[in-house]
């Protein structure tokens, strides 16, 4: 028996269908190692929940570390962004020489700011920075951290960037602007990941969003989906039959999380196969009921995250099946104006339940969710 190589709900050890993005990131890392300089724009991978953004970011972090780079990981949204940055940079410097560590510590103490009435460092005596100068202090902190990290440099990784507060995003953008003109030789780069509407959030916070470069992650195409199922099994000497693959691919519909779920359930149905064994169509058929239950729980969890008004919005969306729905038609079905549903639309995007694939349209982020809403969702159901 061999444990499953599929990792639903966890960071995947290998990402599929993102070769071009990884190739670009690895090239940037190699160039910085050879020619130390600031990467001029902050790279942001955007996409719906479940498409592998965090796994991609972790792969880039591992690649950076393998080349000798220091790295800082920040997950935005759990408190003020500046507080998370302070904590990450403080952790980075723990093994430094005393002088370098103290220099960074002095700057981090100056990053004690009040955001929504909460002081983000524990040093009660640290001076509060005026918001107008916050970008400058973030610049100093990043510059000191990159210099203290030594060769070949520092890689900053920010997950869930759409959840960062506006003050933190603004400070990061201004800091990067200052670094571009004042420290172009600094060996520092930043990769971020966020939901599809991250650009809207950042643009709301800072006017010059051109400091950020956005790269879209879609569901996987058939070839990449097939590789995501076949290759982890082949690495353990196990083969999928063509029938099994076709059935599994139809169930997952290119959604990376569902590919991991059906792969995992089929592996279990095949009895945790040893090398030389096969996953067949009967195993996928047997796994189907458990896959559907996992999928139902997944959809139910998303549905219950929504308020009654958000549920009403999604029920109006579901009338169009899985196709993108026009905002005007949704408003009409709800008996509202398009302007009056703007806030609920944005809230659903913040929760990762819907995306805006084109101007004036919205769609569900997970395939099959529209069918769930039509079948089981009831805005009047007691919560």
The CATH class, in words, for 306-376 is mainly alpha
* CATH number assigned to the domain covering 19-216: 3.40.50.300
| pLDDT the model gives residue 112 | 59
| pLDDT the model gives residue 133 | 77
Quickly list H helices, 51-119: 53-66, 81-92, 98-109
How do beta strands 325-326 and 361-364 pair? antiparallel
Nearest in space to 362 (alpha carbons), one of 377, 352, 374: 352
Structure token pair of residue 233: 């099994």
Residue ranges, comma separated, of all CATH 1.10.8.60 domains in the chain are 222-302
Burial 155-174 (b: 16+ CB within 10 A, else e): bbbbbbbbbbbebbbbbbbb
Q: What pLDDT tens digit does each residue of the chain (383 aa) get?
A: 999 999 998 888 899 999 999 999 999 999 999 999 999 899 999 999 999 999 999 999 999 999 999 999 999 998 889 989 999 999 999 888 778 888 888 888 877 543 344 344 434 444 444 544 788 989 999 999 999 999 999 999 999 999 999 999 999 999 999 999 999 999 999 999 999 999 989 999 988 777 789 999 999 999 999 999 999 999 999 999 999 999 999 999 999 999 999 999 999 999 999 999 999 999 999 999 999 999 999 999 999 999 999 999 999 999 988 889 999 999 999 999 999 999 999 999 999 999 988 899 999 999 999 999 998 865 444 44
| pLDDT the model gives residue 377 | 67
φ and ψ at 307, to 5 degrees? Answer: -75, 165
Residue ranges, comma separated, of all CATH 1.10.10.10 domains in the chain are 306-376
Beta carbons of 4 and 272 less than 8 angstroms apart: yes
Nearest in space to 86 (alpha carbons), one of 41, 61, 130, 119: 119
- Centre a 10 Å sphere on the Cβ of residue 184 and count the other Cβ atoms it contains: 10
Residue 339's contacts (CB-CB under 8 Å, 6 or more residues apart) are: none
Beta carbons of 270 and 279 less than 8 angstroms apart: yes
In the three-class reduction of DSSP (H, G, I as helix; E, B as strand; rest coil), residue 46 is classed as strand
Residue identified by tokens 């010059």 is 208
Beta carbons of 141 and 104 less than 8 angstroms apart: yes
Angstrom CA distances, 166 to 151, 258, 296, 338, 371, stand at 32, 33, 35, 26, 36
* CATH number assigned to the domain covering 222-302: 1.10.8.60
How far apart are the C-alpha atoms of 353 and 347, rounded to whole Å? 9
């Amino acid at each position: 028996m061999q444990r499953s190589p599929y990792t639903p709900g966890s960071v995947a050890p290998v990402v599929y269908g993102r070769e071009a993005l990884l190739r670009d990131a690895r090239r940037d890392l190699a160039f910085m190692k050879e020619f130390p300089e600031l990467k001029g724009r902050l790279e942001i991978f955007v996409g719906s929940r479940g498409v592998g953004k965090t796994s991609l970011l972790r792969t880039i972090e591992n690649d950076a570390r393998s080349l000798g780079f220091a790295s800082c990981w920040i997950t935005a949204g759990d408190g003020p962004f500046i507080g998370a940055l302070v904590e990450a940079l403080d952790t980075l410097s723990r093994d430094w020489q005393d002088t370098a560590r103290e220099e960074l510590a002095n700057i981090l103490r100056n990053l004690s700011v009040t955001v929504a009435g909460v002081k983000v460092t524990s040093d009660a005596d640290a001076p509060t920075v005026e918001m107008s100068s916050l970008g400058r202090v973030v610049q100093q902190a990043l510059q000191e951290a990159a210099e203290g990290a030594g060769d070949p440099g520092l890689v900053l990784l920010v997950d869930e960037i759409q959840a960062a507060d506006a003050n933190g995003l603004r400070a990061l953008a201004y800091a990067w602007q200052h670094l571009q003109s004042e420290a172009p030789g600094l060996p520092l780069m930043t990769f971020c990941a966020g939901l599809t509407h991250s650009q809207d959030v950042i643009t709301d916070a800072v006017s010059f969003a051109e400091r950020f470069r956005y790269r879209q992650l879609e569901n996987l195409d058939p070839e990449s989906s097939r590789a995501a199922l076949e290759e982890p099994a082949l690495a353990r000497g196990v083969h999928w039959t063509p029938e099994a693959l076709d059935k599994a691919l139809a169930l997952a519909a290119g959604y990376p999380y569902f590919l991991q779920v059906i792969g995992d359930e089929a592996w279990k149905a095949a009895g945790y196969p040893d090398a030389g064994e096969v996953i067949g169509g009967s195993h996928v058929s047997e796994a189907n009921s458990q896959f559907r239950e996992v999928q139902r729980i997944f959809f139910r969890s998303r549905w219950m995250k929504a308020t009654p008004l958000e549920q009403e919005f999604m029920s109006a969306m579901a009338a169009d099946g899985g196709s993108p729905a026009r905002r005007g038609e949704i408003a009409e079905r709800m008996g509202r104006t398009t302007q009056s549903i703007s806030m609920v639309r944005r809230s659903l995007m913040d929760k990762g339940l819907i995306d805006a694939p084109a101007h004036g349209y919205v769609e569900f982020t997970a395939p099959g969710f529209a069918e769930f809403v039509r079948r089981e969702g009831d805005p009047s159901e007691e919560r």
